[in-house]
Amino acid sequence: MRQEVVLAMLAKEPSHGYRLRARLREALGPLGDAMNAGQVYVTLARLEKAGLLAVEGSADGADRADRKVYALTPAGQQRVGEWIAEVGWPKPDLAEFHLKLIAAASAGLADPLAIVDTQRRELLRRVREAQLAAMAEPDGSAAALLLEGIVLRLQADLRWLEACEKNWNHRRSGS
């Protein structure tokens, strides 16, 4: 999990470490179980050291990471903005993209549908490149088969983007 994901989950409002973990668990469902608490707290400590987060206080004066209240610094806010605008293909990280949409919507950083559109533009350019290359190969050749594999994978990514679009469009019109 990239550090920016943890940062972005704090973009809406400062939060205790344990609240942050709860938000991630809620967003990731059963996949959230794969993230252990230690990983999140180590990331928070690193981000604090890097000057991207600041500790605003703690729930009961305790020094435990889960009780501290973390907030973004201006440098942290800038880093989140850059991460939101970044296009993460061709190495698709589904959870990262998913959390990007959630963070963008909850903190009002960007329109999730605009993020989906940006990602789709980038993907379509790659589909085009692979498809034109596939069409130039003789049918049944080994190279055509590999290129078809690339196109099929990209199509799967596009279908998922379509599902994201539908879901976020529905949420927007429902709100």
Question: Which residues contribute to the site for another protein (CB under 8 A)?
Answer: 90-91, 113, 117, 120-135, 139, 146-151, 153-155, 158, 162, 165-166, 169
Least distance to another protein, CB of residue 158, Å? 5
Least distance to another protein, CB of residue 163, Å? 9
For residue 68, report the phi and psi dihedrals to the nearest 5 degrees. Answer: -75, 150
Task: Name which of 69 and 146 has its Cβ closer to another protein.
Answer: 146
Task: Name which of 7 and 147 has its Cβ closer to another protein.
Answer: 147
For residue 159, report the phi and psi dihedrals to the nearest 5 degrees. Answer: -65, -35
74 sits in the region (left: phi over 0; alpha: psi -120 to 50; else beta) called alpha
Least distance to another protein, CB of residue 111, Å? 11
Least distance to another protein, CB of residue 108, Å? 20
**Whole-angstrom Cα distance, residue 165 to residue 119?**
11
**Whole-angstrom Cα distance, residue 136 to residue 152?**
17
Q: 């989950």: which residue's tokens?
A: 9
Task: Name which of 26 and 122 has its Cβ closer to another protein.
Answer: 122
